[in-house]
Amino acid sequence: MAKEMINLLVKGGAATAGPPLGPALSGKGINIGQVVKDINDKTKGLAGMDVPVKVIVTSETKSYEITVGLPPTSALLKKEAGAEKGSGLAGTKPAGALKIEHIIGIAETKADAMLGKTLKARVKEIVGTCVSLGMNVEGKPAKVIMKELESGIYDSKIKAKKITLTAEENSAWESEKQAAIRQAEQLEKAVAAAAAAAQAAETPAEGAAPAEGAKADAPKKEEKPAKEKK
């Protein structure tokens, strides 16, 4: 029997019959409303995340199968960190904070979709994504963690596939998250202050003398009355 595969990217638990889902399924002879419900049931655990979904439709029987893929690595990292987006200023402004355990957990989850042949190689791939997003790991910029991975500092945790935090580690993570928030806020204030100073420098104060080199209007000469001819 002929089967048609439709690849979609939907918001976890929030798919609708509108674009892109509705138009892609239109004319296939299946109940679009039921497909939407089934997709939302399968993706509700990934609420708010972009989730790849495959809908395989069998035209003869008007039946379908739904396969849910994993969200992009960046989406998983942002979900773990509680961040809505990357920093936009990677290396300067942190977008959030994570522990190495979060990285190991995502590396395990995405193992089949990654290029790295070992867990450590996959951890490095994910830390590379943290660099792009501007995420701190273990309270440090991700670039620093990349060097520490090379030196073997986290080898024991990677070998043990440690993905859960102790109470002490969780407390440290909370402190690191707050530190990242403060750092981001300080940077935003500094950027705003610099912009305000630049604007003030470009706008002359009222009553200020004209800038050097500017030509002042020459005073008009007083015209003398013409003499009457005798």
Q: pLDDT band for position 185 (50/70/90)?
A: confident
The two three-digit tokens of residue 99, written as one number = 């522990």
Q: What is the pLDDT of residue 54?
A: 92
Q: Is domain 73-190 given the CATH code 1.10.10.250 in the classification?
A: yes
Identical fold between 3-68 and 73-190: no
Distance CA 130, CA 94 (A): 10
Could you name the CATH architecture of 3-68?
2-Layer Sandwich (3.30)
One-letter-per-residue 3-state SS of the chain: CCEEEEEEEEEECCCCCCCCHHHHHCCCCCCHHHHHHHHHHHHHHHECCEEEEEEEEECCCCEEEEEECCCCHHHHHHHHHCCCCCCCCCCCCCCEEECHHHHHHHHHHCHHHCCCCCHHHHHHHHHHHHHHHCEEECCEEHHHHHHHHHHCCCHHHHHCCCCCCCHHHHHHHHHHHHHHHHHHHHHHHHHHHHHHHHHHHHCCCCCCCCCCCCCCCCCCCCCCCCCCCC
Q: Give me the pLDDT at residue 11, please.
A: 87
How many helices and strands in the chain, by DSSP H and E? 8, 6
State yes or no: pLDDT of 51 exceeds 80: yes
Tokens of 201: 């420098």
Q: At residue 215, does pLDDT exceed 60?
A: no
pLDDT of residue 110: 86
| Residue ranges per structural domain of the chain | 3-68, 73-190
- The proportion of the chain whose per-residue pLDDT surpasses 70, expressed as a percent, equals 87
Residue 221 pLDDT more than 70?
no
pLDDT at site 126: 96
Distance CA 220, CA 54 (A): 83
pTM of the entire predicted model: 0.67
Q: What is the pLDDT of residues 109-152, one digit of tens each?
A: 888 888 999 999 999 999 999 999 999 999 999 999 999 999 99
Angle at 38 between CA 33 and CA 43, to 5 degrees: 125
Q: Is residue 211's pLDDT more than 70?
A: no
What's residue 60's pLDDT? Answer: 86
